[in-house]
Amino acid sequence: MNAIPPPAQRLSLRTCSSPHAKQKDAASRSGRLMCHLKSSLSNIYGVWSRRRALGHN
């Protein structure tokens, strides 16, 4: 059950690997960086909320 990523994380990972993000110009590079930042943030938030739900603040 823990192996399945939350929908938001799955979505952001899919956007990171989209053809748009693979373009070589600076705009898409910064977009890809923001995308990875968002996905790691949602990952951290998912872990934190899961731990909070289990009762370990």
pLDDT of residue 29: 77
- pLDDT band at residue 24 under the 50/70/90 scheme: low
* Phi, psi torsion values for 53, nearest 5 degrees: -65, -30
> What one-character DSSP code corresponds to residue 41?
H
Tens of pLDDT along 29-50? 788 888 889 889 999 999 989 8
Q: Based on DSSP, count helices (H) and strands (E) in the chain, helices before strands.
A: 2, 0
Residue holding tokens 């910064």? 30
Choose between 7 and 32: higher pLDDT.
32
Query: Is residue 7 pLDDT above 60, yes or no?
Result: no
What are the structure tokens assigned to 13, written together? Answer: 């990972």
